[in-house]
Amino acid sequence: MPAGYAPELIAAAATPAAPDGSCLGTLHLRHLGDLLERGCDAVALFGTTGEGPAFTVAERRAGLERVLDADIAPERLVVAAMSAAPGDVLELCRHAANAGVTRLLVMPPFFFRGAASPDGLLRFYGDLVESLGDDHLRIMLYHFPDMSGAVITAELVLELRRRFGAVIDGVKDSAGDLEASLALIRGLPDMRVLVGTEVHLPAAVAAGGGGTICGLANVAPELVRELMLATDPAKIATLTTRLESLDALLSAAPFAASLKAMLALTTGQVPWALPQAPMAPLDSQATRLLRDGLRQEGWLAADS
């Protein structure tokens, strides 16, 4: 990690949606404000946990403008740009840059799953940086092969850094492989590598990692921050067990749908429960099991 930077807790913010697929702006703003008040350093908008590709480019642009109009500072935002079309990625990045947001999380286009090559990835990111033409931007490459079908390597990042300098800021690693994350951290000592798996935080930070962009921060930011900064092995073990139990509850069904169901239960805001199609909301049995598990683990009051 670059000298002088502290590890960051960035929530991969969930996005509440109406039945027509549009963002529920008031509920979204309330959630983002809550996350920042509860200790998140920043929030990532329209990433994978935020179901970003399920929102149109126009909806994502409007969502960012709504957030900025609500006086959430641009430096506390990371805009995720993901699409099957490179042109859409460029449009989202350019819009964010013109709005004053400098931190971008960019996933390779995912339509040609499994066909991405090192040369093709170099072309995609190189064309994007050259088209943006803004040295103030900080682009984080999004390594999530289960989602994109593409593999971001340290060699790719280093070559992009050689060509474009500090515009290439590092990697967000959502592959879920701790040893691979540690290898990325070692291979990119002057860049930020943020993990997506919360329980990997102590080892990643100890090795020089830059923190996390993660989904569990939507519902347990205090616990994720405590784990990120923990050094005592006994405390790390206790916090890890706690987060693993929460992750297990949310992973019993598609994570985004379960997370939204939990937000509906914990906030009392029923619209949270609707994920974007083609995902379906949890059925009554799955919701009951989630509610019971959350109560048993202390995430939800007994009378909720």
Q: What is the pLDDT of residue 303?
A: 75
Which helix or strand (DSSP H or E) is residue 105 part of? strand 103-106
- CA pair distance 188, 175, nearest whole angstrom: 17
Helix (H) or strand (E) holding 98: helix 86-98
Q: Residue 194's beta-bridge partner residues? A: 172, 211
Distances (CA, A) of 232 to 50, 202, 205: 33, 10, 13
Q: Are 144 and 174 contacting, i.e. CB atoms less than 8 angstroms apart?
A: yes
Q: Percent of the chain scored above 90 by pLDDT?
A: 94
* Terminal Cα-to-Cα distance of the chain (whole angstroms): 42
Q: What whole-number distance in Å separates Cα of residue 212 and Cα of residue 181?
A: 12
* Residue 302 pLDDT greater than 80, yes or no: no
Which pLDDT value is given to residue 2?
Answer: 79
The three-class DSSP label of residue 32 is helix
* Mean pLDDT, range 7-13, rounded to an integer: 98
* Structural domains of the chain, with CATH: 8-230 (3.20.20.70), 251-304 (no CATH)
Mean per-residue pLDDT over the chain, rounded? 96
The C-alpha atoms of residue 289 and residue 262 are separated, in whole angstroms, by 11
pLDDT of residue 115: 87
Phi, psi of 279 (to 5 degrees): -70, 150
> Cβ distance 120 to 149 under 8 Å?
no
Alpha-carbon gap, residue 52 to 200, rounded angstroms: 24
pLDDT of residue 50: 98
The candidate with the shortest Cα–Cα distance to 94, out of 64, 117, 52, 51, is: 64
Its pTM surpasses 0.85 = yes
pLDDT tens across 108-165, in order?
998 887 888 999 999 999 999 999 999 999 999 999 999 899 999 999 999 999 999 9
Inter-residue contact 101 to 74 (CB < 8 Å) = yes
Angle at 90 between CA 83 and CA 93, to 5 degrees: 95
Q: What is the Cα–Cα distance from 143 to 31, expressed in whole angstroms? A: 26
Average pLDDT rounded to a whole number, residues 7-15 = 98
